[in-house]
Chains A and B, each alone.
Chain A
Amino acid sequence: MIKFVKTALASVVATALLCTAGLAQVQDESLQKIIQRGKLIVGISLSTPPYGMTDKDMKPAGFDVAMAKLISRDLGVELEIVDQVSQARIPNLTSGKVDILISSFGVTAERAKTVMYTNSIYVDEQMILAPAKADLKNLKDLVGKRVGVTRSTTNDTLITERAVEGTIIQRFEDDAATNQALFTGKVDAIVSGVAAAIAISKHTDKFDRKFAVRQSPMAIGVRHGEFNLRQWLNTDLLMLWNSGELQAAQKEWLGVVNEELPRF
């Protein structure tokens, strides 16, 4: 089904590319457009705590929301948040439904073929989380074990790529379902980010972080060709880092502060 959607989307994108190829010489007004409109439209998934979630009054909250607020403040425009499911993130951006993505958006070379990334806003560590008594030290120990992961996330790509043959990967629709599978023993371990792991260890001490698999930088997604917007965002990210506001947002929502952020 998802494959079918992807194929359908790919053909739509291909048609679009053909249509816009002739307009390549048009000046880049990506940043100006947002300022004139007076509103920045940001795509955020509100079902991915602690990045995007809702507070007790059901208002958007989380690290991604905090970043979106800082950025729209510095841009001097209003903020509009569009809630999105993770599969709709890239289509929302490329079709122009949103201006930028701040949506627990992990950097991958594959995605960079479709969208541009700003500098990182957070570097997560993807790790294996399992019951405290389980003896797991590396990927080989996962052979014959059921490993839960949330579908179409970078965690999914990672484990699919790196799992040793014989590992049983089980994919779930969202983080809540993945975590619940671990809580109820439906899987032996899950692939998780640090922030989510910290959140779980606050909830219960029955689970341990076993080992890290990979560093995973996250960044803001921008449409291909919108260099002015991307450059402004990079400048603002540097300013937010120098003022300490970016670190404060990391501390508040993710519980960890990166020592430095990769710039590229």
Chain B
Amino acid sequence: MMFQEFSLPHVYFMLQGLAWTIGLAVIALTGGSIAGSLLALMAVSRNRWVRRVAKLYIFVVQGTPLLVTLFIAYFGANYVGFEVPPLVAISIAFSFYAAAFLGEIWRGSIHSVPIGQSEGAHALGLSRFDAMRYIIIPQAVKIATPPTVGFFVMLIKNTSLASVVSITELTRTAQIVSNATFKPLQVYLLAALFYFLVCFPLTIVSRKLERRLHKS
């Protein structure tokens, strides 16, 4: 057996891994955002039981490592007799995981809008829905932007756990290439650069968004 030189085919292979990583991130962010906003609304509901369900969900999922959630979603379903394709299992696990964190971040943001705002809206005769829609949420978005983007960036890097369920994403391709070439330093530096190239634009967009929201 000969060691291979770290060369262009390896970089292409890692780019395929990068495509998976981006795909997984998009799925996780979309699924997580939809479920997360539902959860945030549940957490600020007037009904005590709806609030409690949301709180329990956040409590349980935030307290479980993502790796375990992934294992359960991927392997667990088979043990009880369901055949779940890897991508579906991963989408479910990542969305559930992201929902708990986003739900909590957004609940906090909604709560940190001064109480006078909703009292004012109420005094003006706005319904609860309209007050949310026109007064509270626009102000909450401003507060929520930095922690949300921070979590998005973390989530993108967490997609590396998908290799456990046989998805050949960026970190796994780096592992394979580094084992074939015995050049871990170069290979992992390249992987780090790829992750940075995905995450950095997000941070930029977040800065811009913040500035625009502050102007309005």
Binding site for B on A (CB under 8 A): 1, 4-5, 8-9, 12-13, 15-16, 19, 46-50, 53-54, 56-58, 82-85, 87-88, 91-92, 95-97, 173-177, 179-180, 195, 198-199, 202-203, 253, 255
Q: Is the CB of B182 within 8 A of A176?
A: yes
With A176-B184, A177-B184 already in contact, the answer to whether A203 and B3 are too (CB < 8 A) is yes
Residues of A within 8 A of B176 (CB): 46-47, 53-54, 83
Interface residue? B47 (CB, 8 A): no
CB distance from A249 to the nearest CB of B (A): 12
Interface string of B162-205 (1 = CB under 8 A from A): 01111010001001111110101100000000000000000000
Beta-carbon nearest neighbor of B168 in chain A: A83
Q: Which of B12, B80, B172 contacts A16 (CB 8 A)?
A: B80
**A50, A54, A180, A203: which has the most chain B beta carbons within 10 Å?**
A54
CB distance from A67 to the nearest CB of B (A): 15
Interface residue? B78 (CB, 8 A): yes
Could you tell me the dominant secondary structure of chain B's interface residues?
helix
Closest 4 CB pairs of A and B: A16-B79, A95-B78, A50-B1, A95-B75
Complex CA distance for A49 and B168, rounded to whole angstroms: 17
With A4-B65, A85-B164 already in contact, the answer to whether A48 and B80 are too (CB < 8 A) is no
Complex CA distance for A153 and B154, rounded to whole angstroms: 30
Interface residue? B107 (CB, 8 A): no
Of the listed stretches B20-28, B66-74, B122-130, B144-152, chain A binds B66-74
Interface residue? B116 (CB, 8 A): no
CB distance from B20 to the nearest CB of A (A): 12
Q: Is the CB of A13 within 8 A of B165?
A: no
CB distance from B51 to the nearest CB of A (A): 29
Complex CA distance for A70 and B79, rounded to whole angstroms: 30
Complex CA distance for A5 and B83, rounded to whole angstroms: 21
Interface residue? B117 (CB, 8 A): no
Report how many residues on chain B are interfacial, defined by Cβ distance under 8 Å.
Answer: 37
Complex CA distance for A19 and B9, rounded to whole angstroms: 47
Interface string of B69-106 (1 = CB under 8 A from A): 00110111011110100000000000000000000000
Q: Is the CB of B79 within 8 A of A19?
A: yes
Q: Is the CB of A95 within 8 A of B79?
A: yes
Interface residue? B60 (CB, 8 A): no
Residue contacts A-B, CB under 8 angstroms, 30 given: A1-B65, A5-B65, A5-B68, A8-B68, A8-B71, A12-B76, A12-B79, A19-B79, A47-B178, A49-B179, A49-B180, A54-B177, A54-B180, A57-B9, A58-B13, A84-B166, A88-B165, A88-B166, A95-B79, A96-B78, A97-B78, A173-B175, A176-B175, A176-B178, A176-B182, A176-B184, A177-B184, A180-B185, A199-B1, A202-B2
Complex CA distance for A203 and B164, rounded to whole angstroms: 30
Residues of A within 8 A of B71 (CB): 5, 8-9, 12, 91
Q: Is the CB of B1 within 8 A of A253?
A: yes
Q: Is the CB of A180 within 8 A of B182?
A: yes
CB distance from A183 to the nearest CB of B (A): 8
CB distance from A66 to the nearest CB of B (A): 12
Residues of A within 8 A of B13 (CB): 54, 58
Residues of A within 8 A of B68 (CB): 4-5, 8
**Apart from the given pairs A13-B79, A177-B184, 14 other A-B contacts in the complex at a CB distance below 8 Å:** A15-B79, A48-B179, A54-B176, A56-B9, A82-B166, A83-B166, A88-B166, A91-B75, A96-B83, A97-B75, A174-B175, A176-B182, A177-B178, A255-B1
Q: Is the CB of B2 within 8 A of A83?
A: no
Complex CA distance for A177 and B185, rounded to whole angstroms: 10
Residues of A within 8 A of B67 (CB): 1, 5
Residues of B within 8 A of A19 (CB): 79-81
Interface residue? B112 (CB, 8 A): no
Residues of A within 8 A of B165 (CB): 88
Beta-carbon nearest neighbor of A82 in chain B: B166
Q: Is the CB of A12 within 8 A of B75?
A: yes
Interface residue? B45 (CB, 8 A): no
Complex CA distance for A92 and B79, rounded to whole angstroms: 11
**A1, A50, A174, A176: which has the most chain B beta carbons within 10 Å?**
A176
**A97, A174, A179: which has the most chain B beta carbons within 10 Å?**
A97
CB distance from A152 to the nearest CB of B (A): 12
CB distance from B7 to the nearest CB of A (A): 8
Q: Is the CB of B172 within 8 A of A85?
A: yes
CB distance from A176 to the nearest CB of B (A): 4
